[in-house]
């Protein structure tokens, strides 16, 4: 059932086993999974069915950082506050995290997930179904017959993103949510804070108002924050009636380690001896089987990342239009072709043409405690303190992306496959792009001293409050977050079923 | 004084003295003197593009000249003209491959090039006979 709080009969009590805050990818996935497990769900959504400016404006707050200008609308423009959440404008790139993302990598700092890749992996197939993509079972098989850059190289490999249609959760699952008797969706239900017992160890209620500010009576046994990587910490911080620093924040961890995926067109590439499949492999229209479009990327292998102390990054080789080729691109083609010919690899006469492309790189950021979401002094029209974002690219982030590209270029040259260019060492990165991914602000940790939620996504020190979404990621991988946040949400659903039993 | 520079300078004179060598280029008389630049030029498949890359290198490295480039390449390629011309191509490719493998690269207009290939193009740009 889907209700609008503005039409709710005054005095109505909304009760459920689980109350989820936020009807985006995490919240909707969880609602359906919990209902399948015979739990009653109340799904609170602050917006309505469509974009509404007054609702969206509740996201705005002060923001600053390396990539954020004075007139930036990062917080107001990179997420959407209505039914379906940010899936209403996502691009659909999906790829599981890599096993090493969950491992301790001492060169990146002192942090560690309390779970491993094997804890998440069983949930990926179901997450793939929800996101309307095929399972990830053909990286080395089906696509192996197609051309690849640095094929069989010991240091770099080609991996694949699957491209979701992209699934618009609001449209795809609205009917399911509407018809499932165990699910109630309440639109225009704005959460302001959680009420707790006198030790701040148990959620006793939730402060929810409709768009006009009238209170709604909502009660549940378990509460799940699934409102995104900025709102999740915001609501923990505003819940400060008993715990003066906010919930789960005994050690000042809430809101820290904010990460996105910096995206930079870092250079260009020339591969003289094209196999005809190569541009197809690296373009977004590549379909290998089951009508599943995929996007190939090149990535340093885990051992090579460790050897060179690199962060996880993926390079997209985007084919360049030949009429856009300039500078030394064509001369580099001839140079590389000439030298490969000298080595007897392939004579120039046998060449079929060349692959010219741009190199876009996007990668993880180092978890930086100074990149963070806090509460500003401003309040929104509902009386909730607005979020304040400080987000920075560190030298470690930028240098790792540069070094990855340089090493890639050197491998291309060493194998006499091609050449690549890259931005000068001293070029500024303030024109790089962000990827609309809000990660790390309620991160998973074994202890409340180093994070906000435990391995089951439960807020440290609070027995019935959980967090779903990319804010629980301890590291950000080079993969886009949606697939993994859905997988973790499904895993949390199973945990809540066990806990409720 | 910079030791490398001294060594290069010495090698530069050595390279110049290669004019006395007996290596023969196609179309040359057997006793006609040959320089490394001439031998390298025979390996170039597309002269204008090599020149373009070489000029870019020289713009960014204005202190390099024919002597320094010849000296550097003579050492890098272990250029011994007597009887070595036939293997120059593979040795050049191997040197370039080794440069990349061992990180001996430099930027030329932001392209990542091996030190050997970058200097090869520069020497080509400096020594290529004028068109016409």
At residue A495, the pLDDT reads 98
Contact yes or no for A413 and B112 at CB 8 A: yes
Q: Residue A139 — very low, low, confident or very high, per pLDDT cuts 50/70/90?
A: low
Average pLDDT on A144-167 reads 84
In this predicted structure, the answer to whether residue A105 has a pLDDT above a threshold of 70 is: yes
Per-residue pLDDT band at A472 (split at 50, 70, 90): very high
Residue A266 in contact with partner chain B when CB distance is under 8 A: no
Q: Is residue A310 left, alpha or beta, with left meaning phi > 0 and alpha meaning psi from -120 to 50? A: beta
d(CA A96, CA A228): 19
**CA closest to B98 among chain A residues:** A414
Inter-chain CB proximity B117 and A423 less than 8 Å:
no
Mean pLDDT of A60-73: 79
Residues A46 and A148 in one domain: no
* A100 lies in the same domain as A205: yes
| B20 vs A485, higher pLDDT | A485
Do residues A62 and A7 both lie within one domain? yes
Mean per-residue pLDDT for A406-418? 95
Contact A328 B112 (CB under 8 A): no
Asked if B93 is an interface residue toward chain A (Cβ–Cβ < 8 A), one would say: yes
Same domain for A141 and A223, yes or no, is: no
Which residues of chain B have a CB within 8 Å of the CB of A350? none
Of A431, A455, A483, which residue is a domain's last? A431
pLDDT digits (tens, 9 = 90+) for A246-294: 999 999 999 999 999 999 999 999 988 654 456 667 776 666 555 678 8
Put simply, the answer to whether A413 touches B44 (Cβ < 8 Å) is no
Q: Residue A132: name the closest of A103, A172, A78 by CA.
A: A172
Q: What's the whole-model pTM score?
A: 0.91
Contact B53 A335 (CB under 8 A): yes
* Candidates A334, A348, A410; nearest CB to B112: A410
Token digits of residue A183? 């699910």
CA–CA separation, B99 and B115 (whole Å): 7
Answer whether B45 sits within 8 Å of A338, measured CB to CB.
yes
Residues A427 and A321 in one domain: yes
How large is the average pLDDT for residues A218-230?
98
Residues contacting A57, CB < 8 A, separation 6+: A76, A380
CATH of the domain at A72: 3.50.50.60
What residues in B contact A328, CB-CB < 8 Å? 52-53, 56, 108-109, 111
CB contact under 8 A, B93 and A411: no
Q: What is the mean pLDDT of residues A400-418?
A: 96
* Same domain as A23, residue A40: yes
Helix residue spans in chain B (DSSP H): 3-16, 36-41, 47-60, 66-76, 88-101, 115-127
**pLDDT score at B81:** 65
Number of separate domains in chain A: 2
First to last CA, chain B: 43
Inform me whether the C-beta atom of residue A128 falls under 8 Å from chain B C-beta atoms. no
Contact A341 B45 (CB under 8 A): yes
Same domain, A98 and A189: yes
Using the predicted structure, report yes or no on whether residue A200 has a pLDDT greater than 90: yes
Is the same domain home to A230 and A124? yes
Tens digit of each residue's pLDDT (9 = 90 or more) over A325-361: 878 999 999 999 899 888 887 654 555 567 889 999 9
Is residue A420 located within the same domain as residue A330? yes
The partner residue sitting opposite A421, judged by closest CB among B94, B111, B117, is: B111
Q: Which of B87, B96, B102, B119 to mutate to test the interface with A (most CBs of A within 10 A)?
A: B96
pLDDT > 90 fraction of chain A, expressed in percent and rounded = 75
Tell me which residues of chain B have a pLDDT lower than 70.
1-34, 81-86, 130-132
**Distance, CA of A409 to CA of A405 (rounded, Å):** 6
For residues A343 and A452, state if they share a domain. Answer: no
- Report the C-alpha gap between A407 and A305 in whole angstroms: 10
Q: Are residues A107 and A151 in the same domain?
A: no
Task: Based on the fold, state whether residues A455 and A307 are members of the same structural domain.
Answer: no
Lowest mean pLDDT among A62-66, A222-226, A344-348, A422-426: A344-348
Q: Compute CA distances A115 → A438, A475, B18, whole Å.
A: 20, 12, 67
Facing residue for A414 by CB, picked from B53, B101, B107: B101
pLDDT of B12: 39
Give the confidence band of A494 by pLDDT, cuts at 50, 70, 90.
Answer: very high
Residue found by looking up tokens 């460790």 in the block: A306
Return the pLDDT at A145.
57
- Cβ-nearest to A334 among B49, B89, B93: B49
Domain of A268, in residue numbers: 135-166+262-363+394-431
Q: Which of A14-23, A289-298, A313-322, B62-71 has the lowest mean pLDDT?
A: A289-298
Is A332 within 8 Å of B94 when comparing Cβ atoms?
no
Query: Residue A298 pLDDT more than 60?
Result: yes
């Amino acid at each position: 059932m889907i209700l609008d709080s503005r039409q709710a009969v005054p005095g109505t009590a909304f009760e459920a086993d689980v109350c989820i805050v936020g009807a985006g990818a995490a919240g909707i996935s969880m609602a359906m999974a919990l209902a399948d497990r015979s739990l009653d769900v109340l799904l609170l959504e602050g917006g309505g069915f469509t974009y509404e400016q007054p609702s969206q404006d509740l996201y705005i707050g002060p923001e600053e950082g390396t990539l954020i200008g004075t007139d930036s609308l990062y917080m107001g423009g990179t997420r959407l506050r209505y039914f379906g959440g940010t899936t209403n404008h996502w691009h659909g790139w999906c790829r599981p995290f890599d096993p090493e993302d969950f491992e301790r990598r001492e060169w990146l700092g002192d942090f560690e997930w309390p779970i491993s890749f094997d804890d998440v992996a069983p949930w990926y197939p179901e997450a793939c179904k929800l996101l309307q993509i095929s399972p990830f079972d053909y990286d080395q098989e089906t696509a192996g017959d197609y051309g690849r850059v640095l094929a069989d190289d010991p240091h770099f490999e080609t991996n694949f993103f699957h491209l979701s249609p992209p699934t618009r959760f609001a449209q795809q699952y609205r009917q399911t949510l509407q018809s499932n008797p165990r699910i109630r969706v309440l639109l225009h239900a704005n959460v302001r804070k959680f009420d707790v017992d006198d030790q701040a160890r148990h959620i006793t209620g939730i402060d929810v108002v409709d768009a006009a500010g009238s209170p709604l009576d909502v009660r549940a046994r378990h509460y799940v924050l699934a409102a995104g990587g900025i709102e999740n910490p915001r609501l923990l911080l505003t819940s400060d009636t008993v715990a003066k620093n906010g919930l789960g924040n005994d050690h000042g961890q809430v809101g820290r380690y904010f990460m996105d995926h910096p995206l930079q067109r870092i250079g260009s590439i020339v591969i003289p001896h094209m196999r005809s499949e190569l541009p197809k492999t690296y373009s977004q229209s590549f379909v290998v089987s089951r009508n599943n479009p995929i996007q190939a990327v090149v990535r340093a292998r885990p051992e090579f990342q460790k050897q060179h102390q690199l962060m996880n990054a993926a390079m997209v080789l985007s084919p360049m239009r030949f009429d856009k080729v300039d500078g030394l691109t064509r001369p580099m083609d001839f140079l590389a072709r000439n030298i490969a010919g000298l080595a007897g690899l392939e004579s120039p006469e046998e060449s079929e043409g060349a692959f010219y492309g741009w190199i876009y790189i996007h990668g993880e950021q180092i978890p930086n405690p100074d990149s963070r979401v806090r509460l500003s002094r401003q309040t929104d029209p509902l009386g909730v303190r607005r979020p304040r974002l400080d987000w920075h690219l560190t030298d470690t982030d930028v240098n790792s992306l540069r070094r990855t590209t340089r090493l890639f270029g050197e491998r291309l040259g060493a194998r006499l496959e091609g050449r690549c260019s890259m931005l000068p060492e001293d070029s500024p990165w303030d024109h790089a792009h962000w990827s609309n991914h809000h990660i790390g602000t309620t991160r998973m940790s074994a202890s409340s001293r180093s994070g906000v939620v435990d391995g089951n996504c439960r807020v440290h020190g609070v027995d019935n409050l959980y967090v779903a979404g990319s804010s629980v990621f301890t590291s950000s991988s080079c993969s886009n977050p949606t697939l993994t946040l859905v997988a973790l949400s499904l895993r949390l659903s199973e945990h809540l079923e066990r806990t409720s039993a | 004084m910079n030791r490398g520079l001294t060594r290069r300078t010495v090698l530069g004179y050595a390279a110049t003295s290669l004019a006395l060598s007996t290596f023969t280029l196609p179309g040359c008389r057997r006793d006609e003197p040959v320089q490394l630049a001439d031998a390298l030029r025979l390996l170039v498949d597309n002269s204008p593009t090599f020149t373009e890359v070489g000029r870019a290198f020289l713009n960014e490295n204005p202190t390099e000249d024919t002597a320094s480039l010849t000296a550097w390449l003579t050492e890098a390629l272990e250029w011994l003209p007597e009887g070595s011309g036939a293997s120059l191509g593979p040795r050049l490719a191997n040197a370039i491959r080794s440069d990349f493998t061992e990180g001996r690269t430099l930027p030329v207009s932001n392209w990542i090039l091996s030190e050997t290939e970058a200097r090869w193009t520069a020497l080509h740009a400096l020594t290529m006979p004028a068109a016409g």
